[in-house]
Structure 1
Amino acid sequence: MENANIPMFFLHIAGAAALLIWSVRLVRTGVERAFSMPLRRWLRWSSRSRFLAAGSGMSTAILLQSSTAVALLVSNFVARGTIAAGVGLAILLGADVGSAIVAQLLLLRQTFLLPLLLLVGVVMFLRGHQRRIRQTGRILIGLALIFASLAMIREATTPLVDSQGAANVMAYLARDTVTAFVIGAIFAWVVHSSVAAVLLFVTLVSQGLLPPEAAVAMVLGANMGGTFIAFMLTLAAEIDSRRMIVANFALRGGGAIILLALLSRLDLPLSWLGNSPAQQVINLHLAFNIGLALVALPLTGLVTRLITKVMPPRLDPNAGIGPASALDAAALSNPDRALTCAAREVVHMGEIAEAMLRAVPPLFVQWDDVLAARMAADEKLANKTLMEVKLYLAKLNQGVLSDETSTRAMDLSSNAANLSAAAEMISRNMVTLARNLDHEGVRFSEQGWKEISDFHDRVLANVQLALSVMMTQNPDEARELVEEKDDIRALEQRLQRAHLMRLHEGSGESIETSNIHQETLRALKQVNTSFATVATPILSETGDLLSSRLAHRR
């Protein structure tokens, strides 16, 4: 390659890699927005056996095109006690296999796929009236862009095939597989996608640019780097979910290191994995993850017990010290800074209510006086914070403020009131319902409890979305939150009708718990509504919210 073309080469390869990373993310966000609730339910209810859990993790990773996304979902379930850490580890092992299958599927080179996916995807996204149709269009567009980015990589790297300098560098990586392994791990972590990293490495092999020995080491490194992403993203998570993530990191990362050492020392042939070097590398990636899952699945209980001994419960050095208030009196002279302080405190109120909502299902399963008392204390803290926020904003309004600043202050005050109402709904209504269930000595029917659990999980996901909207002020997420509010209302009505149908059929458990069941659904709907109101100011400003309902987007 001529020196004059080097800057253009790096520009092309960087642009193609950026498109690949973005495309994988586009597909994942589309699946999360359209199908997150069914996926969450499937993961939660597949915990009856380890192999079923692994299968659910594999299928979910294929849809999300990311084992990291599955790890984050499952870590929430483990932290809430919904599933055991051993089952969560089984799901992650299956998700690793799923991400390897995704890489296999995305390397298919069918010329008709790219234009077909683009055509159908754009039509669905622009003309679809329902959110799932639009998000399915987004998924198809993302898949098309993945194929386009891989074609760009192949085109950009073609001149390097005959380049002596590039050949020398790649030949060095083939000799120094440890360096290649580290590069693969770092690259997968930096781009936050082991799928994108593996696709890039295998594409370079198919071009004859990257030797198979170096590609094998880099792909194994990407396996380790992929698990490190979830490790870093859950540093502040509950200890149980951290143990699960660390166990998966140790198994997948340690397995990759061991396999690399075996391949380097024994010089094992890879011809049985495929006819071409690219096939051998991508098939080794899949075989490694399948083999690891088959070996580790029967040992998940043992592994989680060992990791529990290595990672005992963390002692909080700040126990007994309350969180510092973000309401800085010195900031009142600077309206923008003061509003930021108030916004931080309102977000903290939302986090309090979210933690209370997470604790509700365990109370319905088994009454706990201590947990109920903690939730009552959290409600008092939320009410106290509401009063402090209102007084802080009142002091701010005593100065000369612009219309925009005054509007933001009123919006924050309104959001704080709604979040306090959500905390009160959880502490007084839902905790009382759980107490009544325990005092009366009755239990929900199996179908009724499944419906409540699924409904709670969906509301909790919307609560987390609302917290994200409060922090990012993203109009697209705000619109999604309001759309979810309408969907939640319709879903609550369907669940109420389903409950009444069971009453007509004479189900004893449904009759005994009828009032508690219906009031629980109503309370969850009210909590969702309180959180959904945080999107109203954002959509009013963008013109997406009509006086009576959400504006229709074409």
Structure 2
Amino acid sequence: MSGSVVLLHLAGAVALMLYATRMVRTGVERAYGDVLRHRLRATMKNPFMAVITGTALAIALQSSTAVTLLVGSFAGSGIVGGMAGQLAVRGAEIGSALVVKILSFNLTLLVPICLAAGTTVFLATERRSWRQFGRILVGIGLLVLSLEMIGQASEPLRDSKLLPVIVDYFSGDPITAYLLAALMTWLFHSSIAAVLLLVALAGRGLIPPELGIVMVLGVNLGSSVIAPLLTRASPPGVRVVPVGNLLMRGAGSLAVLTLFLSIEPPVAFLGSTVPDQIINAHIAFNVIILLAGIPLAALVYRASQAIVAWGTPAQPPEALETIEISALDESALDTPSLALANATREVVRVCETVEVMLTRIIELYEHADEADIKALAALDDRVDRKHAAIKIYLAKATIRQMTEDEALRCQELIGACVKLEQVGDIIVRNMLIHVQKKLAGHLQFTEEGWHELSSFHASVLANARLAFNVLISRDARTARQLVQEKDRLRDFEKEASHSHFLRLREGSAKSVETSSIHLDTIRDLKQINSLLASMVYPVLEEQGLLSDSRLKAL
């Protein structure tokens, strides 16, 4: 087999591994994301529990970077403290290393089981939670399969005459090997994928243990760079935790590399095989960084704050987020197709603002102050302004001669804009009042009650994104799925209300105190979902899929 074919097979196997890792992570985020976020918020006040929760979350998401970004956003919102956030990230790094350990075992039998079970679950139901569970199973099966493919693809490299020369070079130049591993990890955006690739190659005898450990340290450097780069345009509060992680893990990898190259300790104690030695070195490094990070947490936090403040202009010349450029070009009114395209662009911006409001409101139920409340109310003012401008613009456009399709599209955009304005009003005039009531009374939901609310909200938010997509794509299949979700949420509301009344019957003090807020919030979210679903009715009517009262059966 030629070298180019070997590299092609290896590239395909690595690509499958990256895709499978992302598939598992997105499945977990969509199915259990809100529950995981709630758990993380609830345990961040205890340093020990912050480490444990960060570890568990990284194992579930198969990504320490995802946890770092999540914790950084919490720190930026004031939900968690910066030092507690850094400890959670330390735990996440250990969780990421443990995932590599788990996947290093012989899991061949999982491939057919996970692929068959996951595909069956995904195709057998329309329930989002079950479909995402099926996605997770398929992702796990593909991940294990990709590891087998990497092993098989790299087998011919044993007989390569060039590879020993390359390995010898990197063994004699560990700094280059260290930086190459860091670059590889940054390109993968996954330390798990990078270490698994090293382990697979080491299992075929292609990488010696000393070089493998040097490259594992490089992987940790590359992984620590990803989150700061992804958050470089975020507010300063969000960037503190990723920068702190870079200081600890990135600088720590360089310090350990220096010690390793200076002392040249034996590596046999790390395991009986080269893959075990590489994996255990990866775990040991992150445990060392955790132990060192506990006494240094306050110092690293202050240093990361100083770095972020140094890199942030004290008084930017103009706040970019306040700039609003309208797409409603008056000169395009004489060409209805262009005018409708401009109006669509502006409605999409309204969709984006409403999505921000809908995303933010559930966070305020847990942590809010007057500044947060005013900021959300200001977004509703923006929606109102754009709503009025779009209506006036489209009214001017209708004066011109339009085709039947253009007239229908015009009415569709006006209807969508009206419904988006109503959604904004519900969030600000109803749900924001519930937030203020909860804040003033220092009330807390029961764990079951909060799980119901956050799950219901997650479904409505997912439906909002579907509705916004249909507004652009006009895809009948997605529109039909959204209307079917409306029926599912109706059943969900009944179950949630029934569970709430059962808790009231049992005399739960928290349920009694928050009863009206709980039930009113469910009602408001259901009303928002109905408005969003009605945005796609014109698409269904155009395709003949909507009767006078409900979807036609297929």
Aligned-partner SS, 1:215: helix
User: Whole-Å Cα distance in 2 between the matches of residues 294 and 111 of structure 1?
Assistant: 35
- Match for residue 191 of structure 1? 188
1:431 corresponds in structure 2 to 432
Structure 2 matches for 1:309-328, cutoff 5 A?
Answer: 309-312=306-309, 315-319=315-319, 322-328=323-329
2:335, 2:156 → 1: CA distance? 57
Which moved further from structure 2: 226-235 or 58-67? 226-235
How many Å separate the matches in 2 of 1:174 and 1:337?
62
Given that residues 247 and 300 in structure 2 are in contact (C-alpha distance below 8 angstroms), is that contact kept between their aligned partners in structure 1? no
Structure 2 residue 89 is the aligned partner of structure 1 residue 92: yes
Q: How many positions carry a matched residue from both structures?
A: 546
Q: Which residue of 2 aligns with 1:150?
A: 147
- The letter for the 1-side match of 2:317 is P
- Of the three residues 42, 54, 60, the one matched with 1:57 is 54
TM norm structure 1: 0.85
Change (3 A) 1:542 1:40: farther
Deviates more, 1:475-484 or 1:155-164: 475-484
Describe the shift of the 1:530–1:254 C-alpha distance in structure 2 as closer, same or farther (beyond 3 A). farther
Aligned to 1:279: 276
Give matches, 1:390-469, under 5 Å: 390-397=391-398, 408-435=409-436, 442-444=441-443, 446-448=444-446, 451-452=449-450, 455=453, 459=457, 462-463=460-461, 466-467=464-465
The farther-off stretch of 352-361 and 243-252 is 352-361
1:267 aligns with 2:268: no
Counterpart code for 1:424: D
| Cα drift, residue 502 of structure 1 | 5.2
Helix, strand or coil at the partner of 1:311: helix
Query: Percent identity over the alignment?
Result: 36
Q: Secondary structure at the match of 1:164?
A: coil
SS in 1 for 2:445: helix
After TM superposition, give the deviation of residue 470 of structure 1 in Å. 3.3
Contact kept? 1:463, 1:531, Cα under 8 Å: no
5 Å-filtered alignment, 1:14-29, equals: 14-29=11-26
Distance (whole Å) between structure 2 residues aligned to residue 284 and residue 546 of structure 1: 63
| CA distance in structure 2 between the aligned counterparts of 1:544 and 1:195, rounded to whole angstroms | 46
Question: For 1:175, which of 148, 165, 172 is the aligned residue?
Answer: 172
- Give 3-state SS (helix, strand or coil) of 1:447's partner: coil
How far has the Cα of 1:94 moved from its partner?
1.5
State the AA in 1 paired with 2:189: H
Deviations 1:162-209 (A, max 9, x none): 212121112212222222222222222222222112111211111122
AA aligned to 1:318 is E
Name the counterpart of 1:218: 215
Report the CA distance shift for 1:400/1:126 in structure 2 as closer, same or farther (over 3 A). same
Residues 541/105 of structure 1: CA separation in 2 closer, same or farther (3 Å cut): farther
Pairs within 5 Å for 1:226-237: 226-237=223-234
**Aligned residue in 2 for 1:293:** 290
- Which residue of structure 2 aligns with residue 83 of structure 1? 80
Q: What is the CA deviation profile of residues 56-91 of structure 1, one whole-angstrom value per residue up to 9, with x for unaligned ones?
A: 121121122112222333334333333223332222
Shift of 1:284: 0.8
Match of 1:383 in 2: 384
Query: Are the aligned partners of 2:64 and 2:92 in contact in 1 as well (CA < 8 Å)?
Result: yes
* SS at structure 2 position matched to 1:81: coil
CA–CA distance in structure 2, aligned partners of residues 252 and 545 of structure 1? 56
- Shifted more, 74-83 versus 417-426: the winner is 74-83
Q: Which residue type is aligned with residue 260 of structure 1?
A: L
In structure 2, the residue matched to 1:114 is 111
Whether contact under 8 Å (2:380, 2:428) holds in the other structure is yes
Q: Does 1:249 align with 2:246?
A: yes
Q: Provide, for residues 282-309 of structure 1, a one-character-per-residue CA deviation record: whole Å limited to 9, x for no partner.
A: 1111111222123214543443233223
Per-residue CA shift, 1:96-141, capped at 9, x if unaligned?
Answer: 1111111112222244232222222222222345333332222222
Please report the RMSD computed on the Cα atoms of aligned residues, expressed in angstroms.
3.7
SS in structure 2 opposite 1:209? coil
Structure 2: segments with no counterpart, 5+ residues? none
Call closer, same or farther: CA 1:331–1:153 in 2, change over 3 Å.
farther
User: 2: distance between equivalents of 1:201 and 1:544?
Assistant: 53
Q: Retained in 2: the 8 A contact 1:347–1:471? A: no
Residue number in structure 2 paired with 1:12: 9
Q: Aligned partners of 2:426 and 2:335: how far apart in 1?
A: 35
Inter-partner Cα distance in structure 2 for 1:333 and 1:489: 45
Contact 2:54 2:91 in 1 (8 A): yes
Structure-2 change in CA distance of 1:267 and 1:367 (3 Å): closer
Cα distance, 1:483 vs structure 2: 6.7
Give matches, 1:324-335, under 5 Å.
324-330=325-331
Q: Distance in 2 between matches of 1:222 and 1:546?
A: 57
| Partner residue of 1:136 out of 125, 128, 133 | 133
Q: Taking structure 2 as the reference length, what is the TM-score of the superposition?
A: 0.85
State the distance in 1 between where 2:315 and 2:532 align. 32
Contact 1:479/1:539 (<8 A) preserved? yes
Cα separation, 1, equivalents of 2:84 and 2:152: 44
Deviates more, 1:119-128 or 1:447-456: 447-456
How far off its partner does 1:373 sit? 4.6
The structural deviation recorded for 1:256 is: 1.6
Q: Distance in 2 between matches of 1:86 and 1:236?
A: 22
